[in-house]
Structure 1
């Protein structure tokens, strides 16, 4: 029975054709009905929220009357916001199941518009609160009845210089839906309209391509398959160069517009100020990595040697340097591996991830029209959800482990924090997800003595650091430069971006690799660029996570308790302070330098074993 289940799972993960959504068994699909039982229920809730928006306007001019009056408004706003959040994630996750199904696009578009209406309806709130005398506002923040709103109120005071008048805030709120056009157009183009040419697999069979499958085949041990997958992946992006260039330009202009409106010196300043992160943290990350590229050049040399190729190409970067000793990993086995190697996080953590995976948290396999990538989502009042495109390899197991870190962060936070402080920022989010990854790989390595398996796992660690620290820092360097060009009237044309991308890859990987022409379009397929200055947090998060995981494995209980306490804190303090409580100080360069040291030491062992 188990063997039949695993056989079916392997076929779903990497079959010769993508199944229709309806053909994927229910046990491998998430349970969105836990949010809304039917579309009719969604419509009813949508109509109710829309009809109640005028209630928010009734509080205009009353918020400063007393802490109790302010609390009354906050409770109403939170009630509507929580319900709106449920409708928003439901509609969008439903649309991600099959982006070609137009019937699911309407609700997603409508709820996005409703969210803008909601923002407009409460746009008077921040200016009105900040018009209060500062001392009176501090008294409100200290009032017992407003205790759960104390940190957000103090945050308003900190960012007061960047809050506009009521009329200006209303204009910005109403522009929100329009500002998403570039991102929405990019998403529909790349997820629904793009077609990737089929390739021949290792056995010569013709297989349909999606973005996820092309990336999976870049790990093929057969070089001709990797080369074909690489060509298939970038062909549609090259054909759509000018269209994607236009969506990218729309994002740059939008970021510049909002930064200037809010009186920031740059979009970078605005993005980091949201979490009170000094720009020096961003700049020092880029500097620390770019001053320590020698280990990466050594790794490229080792990779070329172990692959036995005269020239190392970009399509050779993802293939394991030794034959995969884990072969294809069925979904059932992936779950068991996760449970085993996350055990250091304790019994409650383990019990909850088991309950979640078996209880409808995850949407597992690719299907026709399914959005690319993976994420963890959900909202206050729902359990977390994990979106995947599982294709049977260890990398996808690590993706599951990563997204489960996000989901458990959400689970702990929503369980322990009120709505006002339950949302954690991206800076700390990437710590939770990557701590899981580091623990998983450390556990697997600790149990591995076999030379080939150890080589494989050491290579996996090197790849984690290459892709999450070095590569994402290269992305961060790219973002910093393109937004600077946009501000100064520099070259942000598709050809200009291609050249910049080439120069950065040459800098980060050195002369020991051939930068293939199609790779110059890689900037065009990075969806996170449509959320400016997001990606650097993968690198800082990995650095913090490495320190936390090391402490958990070395110290046991005390470090684990500090870490789980950190997960319960949500957004109740600034991320730098929350991480200090967990035992890591990201205002210093030490965590980044420690990861570079781990990369070098892992490379040392791998070079020795490879002799």
Structure 2
């Protein structure tokens, strides 16, 4: 897609998503907004009355589902209209109004959970026996009851709710500092040209073939963070203490236990991930050693970890070619899966090309009752082909979940959100490796996989272990200073990357710039999700249609009808054991050996 970026009006309609499938006109959106407001107002009649009889409880759940249906549609449509051209004032306002719809929904239903938990269990049991329609909500009720011991009195809950703004302060401070205040000195390339160092350019600069540029960019960014070390250490430890306060208040035995409880994830899953990765660190060390040898450097530094070690494939793909590649790659999923994907390709589920003022990046977003939508900024590179496979994995996961489950259980949890998308990427990788005869492309593909695995499994596991250590120290009232944070992080870098990486002082400060650390115990899910996806792809390629059907029926169709661990287990991958992570790490090792063979 060379040349100037086109205006939206210049993009052929066939490459634009058809949002009219959700609302034929914007006026219909406004009409549903009014319906939501009306339903929210009607909820007031149920406040204080849920425990009086089964009819009131059923009415609450049914109205909640109806409100969920409307609010999801309102939010998805408004934001997708806004994202296709962010300068259109009408859709800026509509997106803001959709945010208001979310607040209306949240406010109208806030009374229910504490009220339901006050209903004696024998009374709830009687409600379920007397009203057969409540059976549809038995899991929703059991999920609330499961957390009953961590729900406080109304007065205490009000105090915690009022403290939420204070709890989010460290994250807000970091976000403002990181996005608005911190600035990095510019650097010069080998020809003396000045290069700006920003969050946006930093990744590109680390891929620069000139080592002096990479080193200067690294020192510019991390040197700037180092100057604010005490402030950032205090900001982060304040976040850790806030998390501890809420976990203790809710009677959890640790901050981690509180966060994993949302998806009913056993803490052993977290520990097994770290333990399994530890056993396989020699593979990571071997890869780092290979990178050092290929770059032919006396010392390998952290700023050398991102520069390409094989020549980039210059092959370009049209969108038609990309679609056919992805369709061929997912054929092991079976005819129905391919048919659904083709339907998405042919019926304008996808907004394909970049246009002026379009939102960057890519995503899939679905509202119950309408097919999913995918936003791309397709540019013809191999990466954009993988992005198509990835986002269509999300889309078809939503398609199956929404088609199979009632709205109550249609949303899959974040713990499994990246499994279907990454499984598609694995299938595409396998297909391309089997069909390409170009040596340069094979090398690029294998290295693409190794780098993705390093960043998603090894690096995110390192982050997860860092979180585990620092949260435990705060929980146990141990001091945690800037020096100690740097030391903990530096030791983990040494452990994960091995003896062939020279650790610079700047590297020990890397923890300072990771925004995910302010969303506690989130990053481990990247590693578990990637591992599960790798295991599923292997099962499907080796087990054929039976394995694919099991994956589709038990996982893609499952929504949140069961705990995510149980859905994965029934589909063939048991993350309560080390086996899926072990299997994924074996695949990494196999690709590493194949890469070394290709380089000979």
TM-score (norm. length: structure 1) = 0.82
1:148 matched residue in structure 2: 136
Give the conservation status (yes or no) of the 8 Å contact 2:392–2:421.
Answer: yes
Q: 1:138 to 1:484 in 2, by over 3 A?
A: same
Give the conservation status (yes or no) of the 8 Å contact 1:212–1:389.
Answer: no
2:289 matched residue in structure 1: 301
2:593 matched residue in structure 1: 604
Match of 2:327 among 334, 339, 355: 339
SS in 1 for 2:273: helix
Q: 1:41-87: CA deviations, max 9, x gaps?
A: 76776566456534223113432344333221111122223323344
Q: 1:296, CA displacement in angstroms?
A: 0.9
* CA–CA separation in structure 2 for the residues paired with 1:505 and 1:217: 21
Match of 1:67 among 43, 54, 57: 54
1:3 matched residue in structure 2: none
1:16 matched residue in structure 2: none
Q: 1:289, CA displacement in angstroms?
A: 1.0
Match of 2:307 among 319, 337, 342: 319
Q: 1:552, CA displacement in angstroms?
A: 1.0
Match of 2:121 among 134, 152, 155: 134
Kindly indicate whether residue 32 of structure 2 is the aligned counterpart of residue 7 of structure 1: no
Aligned length, in residue pairs: 597
Q: 1:25, CA displacement in angstroms?
A: 8.2
SS in 1 for 2:364: strand
Q: 1:606 to 1:534 in 2, by over 3 A?
A: same
1:581 matched residue in structure 2: 570
* CA–CA separation in structure 2 for the residues paired with 1:479 and 1:100: 39
1:567 matched residue in structure 2: 556
Higher mean Cα deviation, 407-416 or 493-502?
A: 493-502
Q: 1:285, CA displacement in angstroms?
A: 0.8
Higher mean Cα deviation, 465-474 or 592-601?
A: 592-601
SS in 2 for 1:581: helix
Q: 1:243 to 1:395 in 2, by over 3 A?
A: farther
Match of 1:512 among 500, 512, 525: 500
* CA–CA separation in structure 2 for the residues paired with 1:107 and 1:485: 45
Give the conservation status (yes or no) of the 8 Å contact 2:272–2:577.
Answer: no
Match of 1:353 among 316, 341, 347: 341
Higher mean Cα deviation, 80-89 or 43-52?
A: 43-52
* CA–CA separation in structure 1 for the residues paired with 2:198 and 2:82: 17
Segments of structure 2 that go 5 or more residues without pairing to the other structure are none
Q: 1:387-445: CA deviations, max 9, x gaps?
A: 55666643444344333322221121112111111111122222222211211111112
Kindly indicate whether residue 580 of structure 2 is the aligned counterpart of residue 591 of structure 1: yes
Q: 1:242 to 1:76 in 2, by over 3 A?
A: farther
- Equivalences for residues 34-45 of structure 1 within 5 A: none
- Equivalences for residues 377-416 of structure 1 within 5 A: 377-386=365-374, 393-416=381-404
Q: 1:251, CA displacement in angstroms?
A: 4.4
- Equivalences for residues 169-208 of structure 1 within 5 A: 169-172=157-160, 183=171
Give the conservation status (yes or no) of the 8 Å contact 1:191–1:369.
Answer: no
* CA–CA separation in structure 2 for the residues paired with 1:23 and 1:494: 53
Q: 1:368 to 1:329 in 2, by over 3 A?
A: same
Match of 1:262 among 223, 230, 250: 250
Q: 1:247, CA displacement in angstroms?
A: 6.2
Q: 1:556, CA displacement in angstroms?
A: 1.4
Q: 1:460 to 1:366 in 2, by over 3 A?
A: farther
SS in 1 for 2:63: helix
Higher mean Cα deviation, 284-293 or 562-571?
A: 284-293
* CA–CA separation in structure 2 for the residues paired with 1:276 and 1:502: 32
Q: 1:259 to 1:89 in 2, by over 3 A?
A: farther
* CA–CA separation in structure 2 for the residues paired with 1:182 and 1:363: 38
2:455 matched residue in structure 1: 467
Q: 1:160, CA displacement in angstroms?
A: 1.8
What do you get for the CA RMSD once the two structures are aligned?
A: 4.2
Q: 1:40 to 1:256 in 2, by over 3 A?
A: farther
Higher mean Cα deviation, 67-76 or 243-252?
A: 243-252
TM-score (norm. length: structure 2) = 0.84
Match of 2:64 among 74, 77, 86: 77
Segments of structure 1 that go 5 or more residues without pairing to the other structure are 1-5, 13-18
